[in-house]
């Protein structure tokens, strides 16, 4: 286990690399470019009547949008989380926080996850790596994570290939499914599962839902590749070479959605991984998503710039809905006006 200083430096490294370096997977896309809505020249709805409200974790949200879990544990991360929380509160989005392992191991970092005062009304999701269940974390540590952030749920992220390339990585993922199942049965709040950029297939998603998982963030390939991020941190020539070989690894976001839907998996499905705009968000919902997550593309510097970006993403979703003549998220989920090219 690394020191708290090591973890904090890693968090700052991740932020810097995601902001300033090319860390997208290469040779693979999200797949959204393969789908096209069928334009309805006469939509038969009033644009101002389009209703994008949804419910998540028992709370009403104005948009079916989630800020994907990204960061925490350092002063820079706190500034980012604070701005994201303020913008999410104003625009009515759900908010996912980054991994809270650093705060559990170092109480001095707890404040970087305490943004509920800036976002009193929206769903907030606390987050730890699932592998930590094999590294000393149990139900008490998980409760501490949600309590310190006043969260509505806990998500366990799956990042096996990131851990493999990461200099400080933990690759013991053995027996985790059973531990996740037990946690779902014993934990007082909803448990979610999220990948970090390589996708979750339909069979595994169905198993998770049947085990008691409440929501799954598919986090498909086509966006940030964490093996590429860790490659840029590494000085190990072997790991650098392996990361390069993995540059096109994963299941695209659209393939994940289609596969999960084919399994009739019953639970809240979140589509994330490389989505660029609200039209792609509309496609994701039409393909089976309940919510859509945005991550690295919204790592902006100020609340004002975030609100401007959020507003654009909202209008793009509504424009797509207007273009096919659907005025609610439920009807968008059931639309037949999308085809594969």
Contacts of 317 (CB under 8 A, 6+ apart): 52, 63, 278, 279, 281, 282
- pTM reported for the whole predicted model: 0.92
CATH number of the CATH domain containing 86: 3.20.20.70
244-287 pLDDT tens trace: 999 899 999 999 999 999 998 789 999 999 999 999 999 999 99
d(CA 78, CA 61): 23
Going by the DSSP 8-state scheme, the letter that residue 335 receives in this structure is -
Per-residue b or e along 90-123, where b marks 16 or more CB atoms closer than 10 Å to that residue's CB: bbbbbbbbbbbbbbbbeeebbebbbbbebbeebb
Among the listed ranges 37-41, 158-162, 232-236, 285-289, which one has the minimum average pLDDT value? 232-236
- DSSP secondary structure string, 250-286? S-BHHHHHHHHHHTT--SEEEE-SS--SHHHHHHHHH
Check residues 94 and 234 and name the one with the higher pLDDT.
94
Q: Is residue 83 pLDDT above 60, yes or no?
A: yes
Can you give the pLDDT at residue 322? 98
pLDDT at 264: 86
User: For residue 82, what are its two tokens?
Assistant: 């604070």
Question: Given a cut of 70, is residue 289 above it in pLDDT?
Answer: yes
Give the pLDDT of residue 299: 74
As for how many domains the chain has, the answer is 1
Supply the pLDDT for residue 319. 98
Average pLDDT over the chain reads 90
pLDDT, one tens digit per residue, over 319-339 is 999 999 999 999 999 998 888
Confidence category of residue 156, pLDDT binned at 50, 70, 90: very high
More confident residue, 21 or 35: 35
Q: How confident is the model at residue 175 (pLDDT cuts 50, 70, 90)?
A: very high
Q: Which domain holds residue 46?
A: 4-340
| pLDDT for the residue 13 | 60
Residues paired with residue 65 on neighbouring β-strands, in sequence order = 292
Q: Tell me the percentage of the chain whose pLDDT exceeds 90.
A: 71
Q: How confident is the model at residue 48 (pLDDT cuts 50, 70, 90)?
A: very high
- Residue 1 confidence (pLDDT): 45
Instruction: Quote the percentage of the chain above a pLDDT of 70.
Output: 91
pLDDT of residue 21: 59
Round to whole Å and give the CA distance between 219 and 229: 16
> Cα separation of 209 and 82, whole Å?
32
Evaluate whether 153 touches 191 at the Cβ level (below 8 Å): yes
pLDDT at residue 209 in the model: 97
Instruction: List pLDDT tens digits, range 181-206.
Output: 999 999 999 999 999 999 999 999 99
């Amino acid at each position: 286990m690394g020191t708290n200083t090591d973890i904090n430096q890693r968090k700052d490294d991740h932020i810097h690399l995601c902001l300033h370096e090319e860390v997208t997977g290469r040779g693979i896309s999200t797949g959204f470019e393969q789908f096209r809505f069928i334009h309805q020249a006469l939509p038969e709805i009033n644009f101002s009547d389009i209703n994008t409200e949804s419910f998540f974790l028992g709370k009403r949200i104005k948009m079916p949008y989630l800020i994907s879990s990204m960061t925490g544990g350092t002063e820079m991360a706190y500034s980012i989380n604070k701005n994201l929380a303020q913008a999410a509160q104003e625009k009515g989005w759900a908010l996912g926080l980054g991994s809270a392992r650093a705060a559990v191991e170092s109480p001095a970092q707890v404040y970087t996850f305490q943004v509920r005062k800036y976002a009193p009304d929206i769903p907030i999701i606390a987050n730890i790596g699932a592998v930590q269940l094999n590294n000393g974390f149990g139900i008490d540590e998980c409760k501490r994570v949600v309590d310190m952030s006043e969260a509505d749920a806990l998500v366990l992220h799956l990042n096996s290939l990131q851990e493999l390339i990461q200099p400080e990585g933990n690759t013991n993922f053995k027996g985790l499914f059973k531990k996740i199942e037990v946690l779902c049965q014993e934990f007082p709040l909803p448990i979610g599962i999220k990948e970090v950029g390589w996708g979750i297939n339909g069979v595994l998603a169905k198993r998770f839902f049947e085990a008691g998982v409440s929501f799954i963030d598919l986090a498909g390939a086509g966006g940030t590749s964490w093996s590429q991020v860790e490659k840029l941190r590494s000085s190990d020539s072997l790991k650098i070479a392996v990361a390069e070989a993995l540059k096109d690894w994963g299941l695209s976001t659209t393939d994940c959605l289609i596969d999960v839907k084919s399994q009739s998996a019953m639970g809240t499905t979140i589509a994330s991984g490389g989505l660029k705009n609200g039209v792609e968000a509309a496609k994701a919902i039409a393909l089976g998503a309940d919510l859509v997550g945005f991550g690295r593309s919204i790592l902006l510097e100020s609340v004002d710039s975030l609100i401007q970006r959020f507003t654009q993403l909202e209008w793009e979703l509504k424009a797509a809905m207007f273009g096919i003549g659907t005025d609610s998220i439920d009807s968008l989920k059931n639309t037949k006006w999308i085809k594969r090219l």
